Chain A
């Protein structure tokens, strides 16, 4: 069956996200998990991710302000965040998290601060892009979505 123009748009958008490194194959895995029993699975997971990661980032922000010398704590928070990013395949965010942790290891506060800003930025950008993506998906409609194959 032919892809409607909407579907093509979605596919294109998705491809872009992959090509630009915003997402990795974990995202595909999520889409494969989506089925009739949970038709909105990916969106639900992504929503959950952003909610939880925002909380984690707020923790980090706070820690940076209040106890910036506590690198262990910072590292621990970031470890959590990193684990979370791996759940949806948020590649860019994950990479920034890794860099942050490296700065933590070096106890390079300034590096941490800067790195964190990048994490925040990547996080925000991804959020925006995925929101558009899902919006588009919703326009397609459930039946079409269900028949859409994973990539």
Chain B
């Protein structure tokens, strides 16, 4: 029986559930399609994992659930599984003729919500909707919990910081991990309780929105404030009183916590409340608010990310301070950006770096100040520093091109000079997340400007070089297993594009300082979805104490490339490092 078209999805859930089936076996594909159609689901089939991934990326909200075979020639099913889980956060069901415990276990480890054995029966497929439903339920709970728990840095910074910054300890990793992909759709809590609303619709408390909220609160007077009044003042269509109420609650908790924390906050890795915009905070379009200590902070940002959509979020507010520019547009799978900002004594102050916003003239103004997490891609490196050090997410291997770049914001004293001569070819930014010392750990790259126009492989190899070093560090037990410093040169970035097999998703936006909420949210949410190394692994940085690590995957994009061309001016790319498959190492670390 033919499936009702998408438009008739108003029928009772789970009718019309949109399933994507991926299997290289054409016979199975046909059978599964038929079975699913008979369940009244809307089916799309795909014989290639890569194509499937593309499809998912292009039409993000087009599917509710993915069913994939484990053994596929072009990509390992588990990899696909990871990607989907991270990037799209969709439930994935694995299938295989092989029912060995170890395989099933692997599936579960990689995040599969179910593992079916072939031959698959229709009755097994009938119930797959439960996975979609369950996820929605969890999302609601998480969002609720999230609101209550979190420490909204954004408030403190009063900045364009993104919605949720988990400033708190790395124990929040789970929390972070669970953070869902937040897009900027409105949502009401009630919607979630209705599973029929398969589409995600959530309120994303973006910088802008939050700013309006804060303004409204201030206008009303903090003591006289109430959700209704705020709602009216904010005048945002679609925003409900409940949204405001819960946000207000968070805000209150946040403020009270701020007061308590203010004294207690040390440089040991917590964001300071006195994160002034000057400190770049504003410029950070960071998932987590990284606090950068004003003086001599060595900030290391480790961005490992599958996708760093750093759309320069720095809105006008901080324009004065930083003339921030946006972004990194790194798109790809979601990954957390780990920002690690140690101060001059090696303290890390970033709990979580979401996106690094490029700071336009940051560095020079800030002097040694810290954070320059913002890496101004749009601009030449004259102001910015950071060495992008990407950490490679262990799970993603070359295919997914996870380049992990860690932005190191020249924290080191030695590097301070770097800032000064930004105009000259820089800088070695060494980031190593080694515990040995704040500097030794850092991978140093000299980004070579001219480097990479050459073949892809060259670049790739250069990139890989970096990573390898990191992995080596990992081996030696450095806490930062995930630090692969990869410094890209402009060209490098271009090549990264090739290097990364992933197709650029639509996440990339022109680096022109657009504020793209959607991307922000994507970015924001990504860390949570990432399962990264436990904080302990990372947290063992002596110098750097991050609370949570977010991994960004640097994806390529044309825009990035453009940016890079400006950005990497004068950067030398050091290709001393060899990139071997880091995966095993990382795997151990991460999945030990």
> Which chain A residues have a beta carbon within 8 Å of chain B's beta carbons?
26, 29-30, 32-33, 35, 37-38, 41, 44-45, 48-49, 52, 76, 79-80, 82-84, 86-89
Taking a contact as CB atoms under 8 Å apart, the answer to whether B30 and A48 are in contact is yes
Taking a contact as CB atoms under 8 Å apart, the answer to whether B28 and A83 are in contact is yes
Q: Quick check: which of B116-124, B354-362, B367-375 contacts chain A, the rest being far away? A: B116-124
Q: Quick check: which of B31-39, B306-314, B449-457, B577-585 contacts chain A, the rest being far away? A: B31-39
Tell me which of A49, A80, A89 contacts B71 (CB under 8 A).
A80
Given known contacts A80-B71, A82-B97, A83-B97, A26 and B28 CB-to-CB distance under 8 angstroms = no
Which chain A positions have C-beta within 8 A of B34? 33, 38, 41
The docked-state distance in angstroms from the alpha carbon of A26 to that of B117 is 13
Which chain A positions have C-beta within 8 A of B118? 83, 86-87
Most buried by B among A32, A45, A89: A45
Given known contacts A82-B97, A87-B31, A89-B119, A35 and B1 CB-to-CB distance under 8 angstroms = yes
Which chain B positions have C-beta within 8 A of A33? 31, 34-35, 38, 122
Q: Is B2 an interface residue (CB 8 A)?
A: yes
Q: Is B27 an interface residue (CB 8 A)?
A: yes
The 5 A-B pairs at the shortest CB distance, nearest first, are namely A87-B27, A83-B97, A26-B119, A49-B27, A86-B119
Taking a contact as CB atoms under 8 Å apart, the answer to whether A52 and B27 are in contact is yes
Which chain A positions have C-beta within 8 A of B11? none
The docked-state distance in angstroms from the alpha carbon of A26 to that of B124 is 14
The docked-state distance in angstroms from the alpha carbon of A106 to that of B528 is 44
The docked-state distance in angstroms from the alpha carbon of A34 to that of B119 is 17
Given known contacts A37-B1, A79-B97, A87-B119, A45 and B27 CB-to-CB distance under 8 angstroms = yes
With both chains docked as a complex, state the minimum distance between the C-beta of B436 and any C-beta of chain A, in angstroms: 40
The docked-state distance in angstroms from the alpha carbon of A26 to that of B24 is 19
Q: Number of B residues contacting the other chain (C-beta, 8 Å)?
A: 22
With both chains docked as a complex, state the minimum distance between the C-beta of A46 and any C-beta of chain B, in angstroms: 9
Q: Is B25 an interface residue (CB 8 A)?
A: yes
Which chain A positions have C-beta within 8 A of B1? 35, 37
Q: Can you offer 20 A-B residue contacts whose CB atoms are under 8 A?
A: A26-B119, A33-B35, A33-B122, A35-B38, A37-B2, A38-B34, A52-B25, A52-B27, A76-B71, A79-B98, A80-B71, A83-B25, A83-B69, A83-B71, A83-B97, A83-B118, A84-B25, A86-B97, A87-B118, A89-B119
The docked-state distance in angstroms from the alpha carbon of A52 to that of B119 is 17
With both chains docked as a complex, state the minimum distance between the C-beta of B27 and any C-beta of chain A, in angstroms: 4
Most buried by B among A52, A83, A84, A89: A83
Taking a contact as CB atoms under 8 Å apart, the answer to whether B71 and A79 are in contact is yes
The docked-state distance in angstroms from the alpha carbon of A31 to that of B69 is 23
With both chains docked as a complex, state the minimum distance between the C-beta of A24 and any C-beta of chain B, in angstroms: 8
Tell me which of A32, A38, A76, A84 contacts B27 (CB under 8 A).
A84
A-B contact count (CB 8 A): 58
The docked-state distance in angstroms from the alpha carbon of A83 to that of B35 is 17
Which chain B positions have C-beta within 8 A of A26? 119
Q: Is B477 an interface residue (CB 8 A)?
A: no
Given known contacts A44-B30, A45-B31, A79-B97, A29 and B119 CB-to-CB distance under 8 angstroms = yes
The docked-state distance in angstroms from the alpha carbon of A88 to that of B26 is 12
- Mark out the residues of chain B between 54 and 84 whose CB falls within 8 Å of any chain A CB in the assembled complex: 69, 71
Tell me which of B26, B119, B121 contacts A48 (CB under 8 A).
B26
With both chains docked as a complex, state the minimum distance between the C-beta of A19 and any C-beta of chain B, in angstroms: 20
Which chain A positions have C-beta within 8 A of B71? 76, 79-80, 83
- Mark out the residues of chain B between 74 and 121 whose CB falls within 8 Å of any chain A CB in the assembled complex: 96-98, 118-119, 121
> Which chain B residues have a beta carbon within 8 Å of chain A's beta carbons?
1-2, 24-28, 30-31, 34-35, 37-38, 69, 71, 96-98, 118-119, 121-122
Which chain B positions have C-beta within 8 A of A52? 25-27
With both chains docked as a complex, state the minimum distance between the C-beta of B363 and any C-beta of chain A, in angstroms: 52
The docked-state distance in angstroms from the alpha carbon of A83 to that of B97 is 6
The docked-state distance in angstroms from the alpha carbon of A83 to that of B121 is 14
Residue of A nearest to B35 (CB): A33
The docked-state distance in angstroms from the alpha carbon of A26 to that of B118 is 10
Tell me which of A30, A79, A80 contacts B31 (CB under 8 A).
A30
With both chains docked as a complex, state the minimum distance between the C-beta of B282 and any C-beta of chain A, in angstroms: 53
Residue of A nearest to B37 (CB): A37
The docked-state distance in angstroms from the alpha carbon of A121 to that of B262 is 78
The docked-state distance in angstroms from the alpha carbon of A35 to that of B38 is 10
With both chains docked as a complex, state the minimum distance between the C-beta of A95 and any C-beta of chain B, in angstroms: 13
The docked-state distance in angstroms from the alpha carbon of A141 to that of B122 is 27
The docked-state distance in angstroms from the alpha carbon of A37 to that of B2 is 7
Which chain A positions have C-beta within 8 A of B26? 48, 52
Taking a contact as CB atoms under 8 Å apart, the answer to whether A87 and B28 are in contact is yes
Given contacts A33-B31, A37-B2, A84-B25, 12 further A-B contacts (CB under 8 A): A30-B31, A38-B34, A41-B34, A45-B27, A45-B30, A49-B27, A52-B27, A79-B98, A83-B28, A83-B118, A86-B97, A87-B119
With both chains docked as a complex, state the minimum distance between the C-beta of B85 and any C-beta of chain A, in angstroms: 23
Which chain B positions have C-beta within 8 A of A37? 1-2, 37
Which chain A positions have C-beta within 8 A of B31? 30, 33, 45, 87
Which chain B positions have C-beta within 8 A of A48? 26-27, 30
The docked-state distance in angstroms from the alpha carbon of A30 to that of B122 is 10
With both chains docked as a complex, state the minimum distance between the C-beta of A139 and any C-beta of chain B, in angstroms: 25
Which chain A positions have C-beta within 8 A of B28? 83-84, 87
Tell me which of B27, B37, B97 contacts A88 (CB under 8 A).
B27
Taking a contact as CB atoms under 8 Å apart, the answer to whether B25 and A87 are in contact is yes
The docked-state distance in angstroms from the alpha carbon of A84 to that of B37 is 21
With both chains docked as a complex, state the minimum distance between the C-beta of A129 and any C-beta of chain B, in angstroms: 18
With both chains docked as a complex, state the minimum distance between the C-beta of B381 and any C-beta of chain A, in angstroms: 47
Which chain B positions have C-beta within 8 A of A79? 71, 97-98
Taking a contact as CB atoms under 8 Å apart, the answer to whether A29 and B122 are in contact is yes
Residue of A nearest to B32 (CB): A87
The docked-state distance in angstroms from the alpha carbon of A12 to that of B324 is 79
Residue of A nearest to B23 (CB): A83
The docked-state distance in angstroms from the alpha carbon of A74 to that of B87 is 34
The docked-state distance in angstroms from the alpha carbon of A30 to that of B443 is 58
The docked-state distance in angstroms from the alpha carbon of A120 to that of B428 is 62
The docked-state distance in angstroms from the alpha carbon of A52 to that of B69 is 17
Residue of A nearest to B121 (CB): A29
The docked-state distance in angstroms from the alpha carbon of A33 to that of B568 is 59
Which chain B positions have C-beta within 8 A of A29? 119, 121-122
The docked-state distance in angstroms from the alpha carbon of A68 to that of B31 is 33
The docked-state distance in angstroms from the alpha carbon of A116 to that of B314 is 64
The docked-state distance in angstroms from the alpha carbon of A83 to that of B1 is 27
